[in-house]
Structure 1
Amino acid sequence: MGSANFILVINLFVAGLLAAAFMTIAIYDVGRVSARWLAFGYALGMVYFAIEFSIPVFDNARPVVVAAFAVFLGATIAFNGGLARKYGVAPIWPPMLFFLAVATVAVYYVQDLPRQSLARMMAYQLPYAAMQFAGLGIVWSSRQRRDRLDHILMAVLAASAVQFASKPFIAHALGGWGADPQSYVQTSYALVSQSIGTVLGLALALLMLAILVRDVLAEATSKSETDMLSRLLNRGGFERHAEVALRDAVRRGVPVALVIADLDHFKGINDSYGHAAGDRVIETFAGFLREAAADHHVAGRLGGEEFAIILPGTNLAAARLFAEGTRSAFGALPIDSLPANHRCTASFGVAELHSGEGFSDLMRRADDALYQAKGSGRDCVRVSAGPGLRPAIAANAG
């Protein structure tokens, strides 16, 4: 068995393993459609390598060569479909499938050109390059790019596209790709082409596996940190994200404030109207917090009817205004499952981080301010003037 044949066999088994890996992710998370498309793409890759390996046994290799081309181009299109699903971009199936049909017909007819013709080689390789550039465009256009892995993926897609476009010139430099399809696997070009393709193809596959696993773990972490009723962070998730926000604010030298809120007379709502009505009140207040919060704010449900929100880049005066606006708006909001004339209220405690304080100190002072608000008749805001100082009145009951 020649070196190129040996690499083809390796590629066949690697493609099978990758197809199985992506299918495992798809089975683990049935909603992850991207993994199914990637698994399908690598399954087509297996078919392609099997066809390539079998070409020498055919007397008339033209139909087999064209079939191999179409299958591999189909694999790149399926890969792009997986990319589109992963990155939230609408898959452009009609143009890609039309491109597949046109390119396949073109490859069929260029078989009449001389074997070493540059036009023939380019007709075979440039469609692959085009699909890799299309994949790069999918990732580039997405708003879901998160971190360095996504940028590395774009770089590898670009490198893969370039290597496909350069293959006709590599083949020319290495003496061509054989006198006929049957002798292709015996050429130096076949060894180089299969080796480069293996490295880049494996890099793309491993990057996609890493990105999908990253997303699965991130979603699992998010679910473990999310309160299902309010859809805000639970206490553990809030504390973790809030501490990160505090450290970042301190590093950047910007103020950061904490607002703690507690729904007034919540037990009475449960007792009078039932727990379903109480749940609706929590959902409404949480939804109001989500809408009022900016992207860099951190909001959570600390437990029961108590909520908190970290406001990086916000000083005490601005945080007080945020709390007062939330108090006033929520108090005027009608809530489903409650009588039309029933209005719910909330009390608020506000504190700004001072030099030398940590998250626990800020929480304690905001909680003290909330306690003062509850003791002052509820439906009001109190602010903590600073460490060791008594919370000050910020707004009277509405």
Structure 2
Amino acid sequence: MAGAGFILAINLFIAALFALAFFLVGVSNRADKVAPFFSLAYVFGILYIASEFILPRQDYPQFAYTAGFAAFLGAVTAVTLGVARRYARPLPWVGVGVIVIVSVAANWFGYTLPHDTVERNLIYQTPYAVMQACAAWIILASRRRQPIDIGLVALFALSALQFLSKPFAAVLLGGSGDSTYTYLATTYALYSQSLGAILQVATGLLMLMLLVRDMLVEITARSETDPLSSVYNRRGFEERAAPGLQQASVPAALVLADLDAFKAINDNYGHDTGDQVIVAFAALLRDTAPPKAVVGRLGGEEFGVFLPGANLAVARLLAETLRTGFAAQSVAGLPPFVRCTASFGVAERMDGESLSGLRRRADAALYTAKRDGRDRVAVAGDPHADAMPAHPLAGTSLAKSA
């Protein structure tokens, strides 16, 4: 077996491994719509490599030549579409379709050109370069600049350049053979297939790392997100709010909210309607809170909004906006005349205060709002005055209906 043929056999094995790896990633995460594109790309790669072995044995090789070209073009096209899906860019179906049709037709007729010419090789290699350049451009247009994104851009750009350089490399290395039968025995074939193997492995590894990282991010997000309200759960809330207290010179505030008479809603209208109330209130919090705010469901019908960079006046204004907005909002499952309300406790971070201390004072203010009649905002004052050794509603009739 010629050296290039041996490299082709290695490429076949590598392509099969990556096709299987991306398939397993897609199976393990059914919500992932990116891995199937990359798996398909390596399946096309397998077909292309198979055509390279079959081509010299064909009596009429023009069809096998064009089919092999189309298979590899399918591989780089699937990669480009997968990159577009991963980076949330519109899938360029029309542009891709035009490139594929024109390129396949050009190579069908280009087969009649002398085998070892720059013109024929340019017709063959340019569509691959265009697709790889498109993949690099899609990532750049997404404006994501993490190291792995930059690495992929560099890799796709390098791949595009190597495709464009191959027709000229063929000249420098003594040609690509005078026919499909002699191609695998040339130095150029060894160079081309070896470089292709390196780029195939590098691209596959980086894309696998990208998808695995996305899976880990998604798993982490699920573990820190409340599935009903789609805001952070208590763990996610505390993990993101705590860093906002590390800068002593920057103000911060906390708004705690508790739905009024929520047990009565569940008892009178059912838990499904109660869930709708939770969802409606969480949506109001997300839509009303500033972009940098941290919104979480801390348990049951209690919610929190951490406001980095906000003082007490800003936090109180937000709480009042939320209170009036929720009281005026209708909720699916409740009669039109029924309106839900919520009580709010607001506190601004004191010098050196921890998140637990800030929450304790906001919690005290919240219970003050409950005790004073609900559907209102209470503001925490001096931390010592807000100390509450016992539940503020203990022993009152409101404690049973809060």
TM exceeding 0.5? yes
Describe the shift of the 1:234–1:166 C-alpha distance in structure 2 as closer, same or farther (beyond 3 A). Answer: same
Match status 1:286 vs 2:282: yes
Describe the shift of the 1:118–1:235 C-alpha distance in structure 2 as closer, same or farther (beyond 3 A). Answer: same
- Equivalent runs, 1:1-398 vs 2, <5 Å: 1-142=1-142, 145=144, 147-247=146-246, 250=247, 254-385=250-381, 387-390=383-386
Residues 354 and 386, structure 1, Cα contact 8 Å, conserved in 2: no
Deviation at 1:389, TM superposition (A): 4.7
Which SS does the other structure have where 1:181 is aligned? coil
Letter in 2 for 1:193: S
Number of residue pairs the alignment of both structures matches: 387
What does the per-residue CA deviation read over 1:94-119, in whole Å, with 9 as the maximum and x for residues that have no partner? 33223222212212323333333221
C-alpha distance in 2 between matches for 1:146 and 1:384: 42
Residues 19 and 41, structure 2, Cα contact 8 Å, conserved in 1: yes
Describe the shift of the 1:67–1:279 C-alpha distance in structure 2 as closer, same or farther (beyond 3 A). Answer: closer
Describe the shift of the 1:255–1:84 C-alpha distance in structure 2 as closer, same or farther (beyond 3 A). Answer: same
Letter in 1 for 2:98: F
Which SS does the other structure have where 1:182 is aligned? coil
Q: Can you give the 5+ residue segments of structure 1 that lack an aligned partner in the other structure? A: 392-398
Deviation at 1:125, TM superposition (A): 0.8
What does the per-residue CA deviation read over 1:295-320, in whole Å, with 9 as the maximum and x for residues that have no partner? 32211111111000111222221111
Bigger mean CA deviation after superposition, 357-366 or 317-326: 357-366
Letter in 2 for 1:30: R
- TM-score after normalising by structure 1: 0.90
Which SS does the other structure have where 1:66 is aligned? helix
What does the per-residue CA deviation read over 1:217-265, in whole Å, with 9 as the maximum and x for residues that have no partner? 2222222222222121111221122224444xx28x5322211111122
Letter in 1 for 2:51: I
Residues 289 and 318, structure 2, Cα contact 8 Å, conserved in 1: no
Describe the shift of the 1:64–1:337 C-alpha distance in structure 2 as closer, same or farther (beyond 3 A). Answer: closer
Describe the shift of the 1:165–1:354 C-alpha distance in structure 2 as closer, same or farther (beyond 3 A). Answer: farther
What does the per-residue CA deviation read over 1:49-68, in whole Å, with 9 as the maximum and x for residues that have no partner? 11113333345543322221
Q: CA-atom RMSD, angstroms?
A: 2.2
C-alpha distance in 1 between matches for 2:291 and 2:183: 56
Deviation at 1:386, TM superposition (A): 5.0
C-alpha distance in 2 between matches for 1:244 and 1:176: 62
Deviation at 1:87, TM superposition (A): 2.5
C-alpha distance in 1 between matches for 2:232 and 2:186: 60
Letter in 1 for 2:150: H
C-alpha distance in 2 between matches for 1:389 and 1:191: 81
C-alpha distance in 2 between matches for 1:212 and 1:90: 19
C-alpha distance in 1 between matches for 2:169 and 2:266: 75
What does the per-residue CA deviation read over 1:11-63, in whole Å, with 9 as the maximum and x for residues that have no partner? 10110111111111222223323222221111010011111133333455433
Residues 234 and 300, structure 1, Cα contact 8 Å, conserved in 2: yes
C-alpha distance in 2 between matches for 1:185 and 1:386: 83
- TM-score after normalising by structure 2: 0.89
